[in-house]
Amino acid sequence: MWDPQQYEHFRDARKRPFFELLARVPVSAPGLVADLGCGTGDLTLTLAERWPGAHVIGVDSSESMIAEALRRPAPERVRFELADLARWRPSSPLDVLVSNAALHWLPDHASLLSELVGLLAPGGVLAFQVPANFEEPSHRRIDEVRALPRFASVLASVRRGHAESLAFYEAHLARLGFSVDAWETAYLHVLPGEDAVLQWLLGTTLRPVLTALGPEEGQAFLDTLRPLLRQDYPAAAHGTPFLFRRRFVVAVRAAAP
């Protein structure tokens, strides 16, 4: 379903939140680190650079993404695994579990977070970032086209990404005994090129939609969506402004007494 080349099209803008998340992780020398939803693996390798004594595991559910990750030169202490993100389990407890723009594809975040924190060692950290743009014009227009009779029946079972509120994440993780640092950032990206917002969405949000529809109906979907996005996101001479919100959480488990 995922296209590494399309995803990399706006890579600089997509990777900035990863480093802003990582900057708030209060761990100096972890032994085992995992990157859940590692994609093409380039950011996973930065975890190994930050923590040179750590073993690092990159996990993704996309064969094409893992194949791209495995092409990258990496030290022996870094490995990549193909697995369902909700079901993957490490061989031993993790000191740091990072997930950048992946958990919004998974349902039931209360149960999910309870499972993920169970993978951590005492003193371990769960750090994740999820897009929170689902009520913005870009996503509302996708929902509008999804609901058209031509597409609705095929797309009825195709999951739409979602994010819970910061208050939800803080309260749930606090009940599990974690200290929580949570915040939201709104980025105003100025995207280059023609139909820039559509190109952005083709790397992420639209992938499951187009996979379900197939080439011919997928093209019809894009032809319907394109003028709506042009209306909501008019291009300027210097690029197309695109507001994008993201939610960040860093949760620290108490160390063993």
Tens of pLDDT, residue by residue over 89-108, are: 999 999 999 999 999 999 99
pTM above 0.75, yes or no: yes
The confidence score (pLDDT) of residue 2 equals 45
The confidence score (pLDDT) of residue 203 equals 85
Q: What is the pLDDT of residues 122-143, one digit of tens each?
A: 999 999 999 999 999 999 999 9
The confidence score (pLDDT) of residue 204 equals 86
The pLDDT of residue 9 is above 80: no
- Any idea what DSSP says for residue 104? G
In the chain, the percentage of residues whose pLDDT exceeds 90 is 90
- Any idea what DSSP says for residue 105? G
The confidence score (pLDDT) of residue 138 equals 97
The confidence score (pLDDT) of residue 24 equals 97
pLDDT band at 14 (very low <50, low <70, confident <90, very high): confident
With beta carbons less than 8 A apart as the criterion, state whether 37 and 9 touch: no
CA–chain centroid gap for 102, Å, is 3
Q: CA-CA distances (angstroms) from residue 78 to 23, 29, 155, 190, 200?
A: 21, 16, 37, 34, 29
Could you give the CA distance from residue 131 to residue 122 in angstroms, rounded to a whole number?
Answer: 28
pLDDT band at 196 (very low <50, low <70, confident <90, very high): very high
For the chain, the structural domain boundaries read 4-253
Domain 4-253: homologous superfamily in CATH: Vaccinia Virus protein VP39 (3.40.50.150)
Residue reference for tokens 């791209």: 68
With beta carbons less than 8 A apart as the criterion, state whether 79 and 43 touch: no
Query: Higher confidence at residue 203 or residue 195?
Result: 195
The pLDDT of residue 8 is above 60: no
Q: Please give the average per-residue pLDDT across 148-161, as a whole number.
A: 95
Q: CA-CA distances (angstroms) from residue 145 to 21, 132, 205?
A: 33, 20, 13
The pLDDT of residue 5 is above 70: no
- Strands of the sheet containing 55-60, edge to edge, are 78-82, 55-60, 32-36, 94-100, 120-131, 240-253, 178-191
The confidence score (pLDDT) of residue 167 equals 98
Q: What is the pLDDT of residues 239-257, one digit of tens each?
A: 999 999 999 999 999 876 6
Q: Read off the tokens for 37.
A: 């939803």
The confidence score (pLDDT) of residue 1 equals 47
